[in-house]
Amino acid sequence: MAKKPAEARRKLVEFDAETWQALDVLARDSMKTFQELADEAFRDLLRKYGRPTDLKAALRQSARSSATAGAASPRRRRGTRR
């Protein structure tokens, strides 16, 4: 079950009748709420595009990119002048 953030945001989303019916049946069959299905779908979408899904993942991704950026910078050798 998804955590409820202290400051939740709402967005109005429109579905055609067939899509809504399919989602409703899926929710019933899987014994999940529509919100749980939506949370799962958006987490999967974020993973697909390599985006962090929570603060912990964002910090981990930031640390990795900082480490690779630091390792890629050229270093001068001692005694060598340009």
> Considering the domain boundaries, does residue 52 fall inside one?
yes
Kind and range of the H or E run holding 56 = helix 55-72
Report yes or no on 51 lying in a domain.
yes
- How many helices (H) and strands (E) the chain has is answered by 3, 0
Nearest to 37 by CA among 47, 57, 48, 23: 23
pTM of the model: 0.62
pLDDT, tens only, 40-79: 999 999 999 988 888 888 888 888 888 887 665 556 566 6
Instruction: Establish if 44 belongs to a structural domain.
Output: yes
**Is the confidence at residue 1, as pLDDT, over 80?**
no
For residue 48, give its domain range.
38-65
Domain-embedded: residue 47: yes
Secondary structure (3-state) at 50 = coil
d(CA 63, CA 66): 5
Count how many domains the chain has: 1
